[in-house]
């Protein structure tokens, strides 16, 4: 009996020693407040140009922050105008495991415009890296880099003087390049027997694109000619010196309109608002609809300012001149009696 008790006591002692050993071996991982990483840029004076849209404008390299043990650290570039001192910086989240971030000219330019920096002149910009382990721990920040950046205006314009408006570039309709990449589009309403026009780079005749034949343009070419009466979408590509046309006319038709159900009254595209507009005399008791390219294949109708493809006729209850505005992006319209 004594032997059994002695053995049990020995086994129990060993178990207690093992438990104590386990407790000693257990390591508690504690995150420190964190040591920030360091940040460098490939250039501290950046001049952005439209000619380099797809080229790399700048690359930021950094070392990872240290929070006392290996863990997934969330890194975010913060960029702000120097005068704003990171009050409301633009942030760019860095992908996991990356230690650098490059920006193309078009992307970095858009970022600078979002900071409301002036175009065509150098501005001071501050950049730093924010590193964070979790939402419960305060982030740490790298050194702040000061760089100068000269952005360019993203949206640019050319102008379309021609016989349809008296050959006056100062008041001519425009084509727009939304990305500033040398490709301009817009819709121009050509009317009259003379369909000639040119495209100027400013509201004067100093530089004017003309016809070079075969869908090409040059600054020494003769007058360009629209394909016909009506609204045409023009695409000018300054990179390839080409021009293309696409018929793009919206109109009003119906027994309340001047042409009845057999004739369209064309609307004019506003290249500033991207809306179709016109002043049209309408007659009470009749109705109208909107259609594209003078064809019933695409026609819009409805009520209360809302349109659908093939929708109901729009009733006119009072005779008079109406300002008509058509939004074919949102399928809405307004009729304002003048």
Q: State the Cα angle at 292 between 289 and 295, rounded to 5°.
A: 85
Do the domain assignments include residue 260?
yes
What local confidence, expressed as pLDDT, does residue 125 receive?
97
Q: State the Cα angle at 280 between 278 and 285, rounded to 5°.
A: 140
Q: N- to C-terminal Cα distance for the chain? A: 116
Q: Which residues in the chain land under pLDDT 70?
A: 1-33, 69-71
Order of strands across the sheet that contains 56-62: 39-41, 56-62, 100-104
> What does DSSP assign to residue 115?
T
What local confidence, expressed as pLDDT, does residue 141 receive?
93
What local confidence, expressed as pLDDT, does residue 70 receive?
67
State whether 103 and 178 are in the same domain.
no
Place of tokens 């009696």: 337
Give me Rg for the CA atoms of the chain: 34
What local confidence, expressed as pLDDT, does residue 135 receive?
77
Do the domain assignments include residue 6?
no
The CATH code of the domain that includes 171 is 2.60.40.3620
By residue range, what is the domain housing residue 64?
39-150
Domain tally for the chain? 3
Reference 234, options 173, 193, 298; nearest CA is 173
State whether 62 and 146 are in the same domain.
yes
Do the domain assignments include residue 18?
no
> What does DSSP assign to residue 170?
G
Q: How many helical (H) and strand (E) elements, i.e. helices and strands, does the chain have?
A: 2, 29
Distance CA 42, CA 191 (A): 54
What local confidence, expressed as pLDDT, does residue 9 receive?
40
Q: State the Cα angle at 248 between 243 and 251, rounded to 5°.
A: 155
């Amino acid at each position: 009996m004594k032997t059994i008790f002695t053995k049990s006591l020995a086994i129990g002692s060993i178990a207690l020693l093992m438990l104590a050993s386990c407790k000693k071996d257990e390591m508690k991982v504690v995150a420190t407040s964190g040591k920030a990483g360091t940040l460098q840029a490939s250039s501290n004076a950046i001049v952005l140009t439209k000619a380099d849209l797809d080229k790399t404008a700048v690359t930021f390299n950094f070392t990872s922050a240290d929070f006392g043990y290996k863990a997934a650290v969330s890194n975010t570039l913060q960029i702000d105008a120097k005068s704003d001192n990171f009050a409301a910086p633009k942030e760019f989240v860095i992908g996991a495991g990356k230690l650098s971030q490059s920006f193309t000219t078009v992307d970095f330019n858009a970022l600078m415009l979002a900071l409301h920096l002036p175009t065509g002149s150098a501005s001071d910009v501050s950049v730093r890296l924010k590193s964070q382990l979790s939402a419960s721990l305060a982030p740490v920040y790298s050194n702040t880099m000061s760089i100068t950046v000269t952005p360019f205006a993203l949206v640019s314009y050319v102008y379309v003087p021609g016989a349809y408006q008296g050959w006056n570039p100062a008041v001519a309709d425009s084509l727009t390049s939304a990305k500033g990449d040398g490709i301009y589009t817009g819709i121009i309403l050509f009317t009259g027997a003379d369909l000639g026009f040119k495209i100027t780079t400013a509201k004067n005749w100093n530089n004017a694109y003309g016809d070079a034949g075969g869908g090409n343009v040059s600054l020494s070419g003769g007058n360009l000619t629209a394909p016909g009466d009506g609204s045409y979408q023009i695409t000018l590509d300054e990179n390839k010196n080409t021009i293309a046309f696409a018929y793009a006319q919206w109109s009003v038709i119906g027994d309340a309109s001047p042409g009845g159900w057999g004739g369209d009254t064309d609307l004019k595209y506003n290249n500033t608002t991207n809306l179709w507009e016109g002043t049209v005399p309408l007659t009470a008791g009749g109705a109208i609809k909107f259609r594209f390219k003078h064809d019933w294949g695409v026609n819009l109708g409805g009520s209360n300012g809302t349109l659908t493809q093939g929708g109901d006729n729009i009733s006119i209850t009072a005779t008079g001149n109406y300002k008509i505005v058509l939004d074919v992006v949102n399928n809405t319209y307004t009729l304002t009696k003048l």
